[in-house]
Amino acid sequence: MKKIAIFASGNGSNAQNISDYFAGNENIKIALILSNYKDAYVLKRAKKLKIPAVYFDRKDFYLSENVLNKLQSFQIDFIVLAGFLWFIPQILIQHFPNRIINIHPALLPKHGGKGMYGMKVHESVKESGDTESGITIHYVNDKYDEGEIIFQAKVKVDPNDSPEDIANKIHKLEYEYFPKVIEGLL
């Protein structure tokens, strides 16, 4: 049995989708959901899904081994970042080499890096005049959005698409492909 921890900072729709996908799977289990915002809706989702959930602050994440200890206590094999906005500390990268992945809502290396998340990415795609966007699933390393690319899926961007339209197209790709890529990696 492979145990996954999902890190999310907000609503948690990807965490929900991944959890639903693996519900009843005998080989892969969502064992823990973690968030850096105590009021994040993802923590409520975790409760409804009956998945243990943990809130942590900056001190827990960057100045102690509290988060690492929690992951080890749950015997986590793999970490999935699903809308998680903080930079991953070196201690986690060292303890989970090539076992931390992230999903980015654009075709990296374009529209990535520090501060590029959520609607900011879709606004950047729109402003650039790109005719396509998509998702990038990649390993996490010590630089924002620069880990080895595992998978990309594309969608057409029409000239009259708003950033919100682009976001809706991207969400569909995320929901379709993220769980399948995770399953393939495990």
Could you give the CA distance from residue 43 to residue 113 in angstroms, rounded to a whole number?
26
How far CA 118 is from CA of 20, 107, 169, 180, in Å, comes to: 22, 13, 13, 22
Instruction: Check residue 172 and give its pLDDT.
Output: 97
Instruction: Check residue 122 and give its pLDDT.
Output: 97
Give the residue numbers marked as catalytic: 104
What are residue 5's DSSP bridge partners? Answer: 32, 79
Q: Which of 35-39, 113-117, 147-151 has the lowest mean pLDDT?
A: 113-117
Instruction: Check residue 35 and give its pLDDT.
Output: 98
Instruction: Check residue 180 and give its pLDDT.
Output: 98
- Per-residue model confidence as pLDDT tens digits over 125-184: 999 999 999 999 999 999 999 999 999 999 999 999 999 999 999 999 999 999 999 999
Could you give the CA distance from residue 104 to residue 108 in angstroms, rounded to a whole number?
8
Helix 41-49 and helix 13-22: axis angle, to 10°? Answer: 20
3-state secondary structure 128-152: HCCCEEEEEEEECCCCCCCCCEEEE
- Per-residue model confidence as pLDDT tens digits over 72-112: 999 999 999 999 999 999 999 999 999 999 999 999 999 99
- Per the CB < 8 A criterion, the answer to whether 122 and 97 are in contact is no
Please report the sign of the dihedral spanned by the C-alpha atoms of residue 93, residue 97, residue 101, residue 106: positive
Instruction: Give the model's confidence band at 25: pLDDT under 50 very low, under 70 low, under 90 confident, else very high.
Output: very high
Could you give the CA distance from residue 92 to residue 86 in angstroms, rounded to a whole number?
13
Instruction: Check residue 186 and give its pLDDT.
Output: 96
Domain ranges of the chain: 1-97, 104-138+145-176
Instruction: Check residue 177 and give its pLDDT.
Output: 98
Closest CA to 150 of 106, 183, 101: 101
Instruction: Give the model's confidence band at 185: pLDDT under 50 very low, under 70 low, under 90 confident, else very high.
Output: very high
- Per the CB < 8 A criterion, the answer to whether 101 and 79 are in contact is yes
Q: Provide φ and ψ at 132, rounded to 5°.
A: -150, 155
Instruction: Check residue 47 and give its pLDDT.
Output: 97
Amino acid at position 160, single letter: N
Instruction: Give the model's confidence band at 57: pLDDT under 50 very low, under 70 low, under 90 confident, else very high.
Output: very high
Please give the class, per CATH, of domain 1-97.
Answer: alpha beta
Closest CA to 12 of 171, 167, 145: 171
3-state secondary structure of 95: helix
Instruction: Check residue 51 and give its pLDDT.
Output: 98
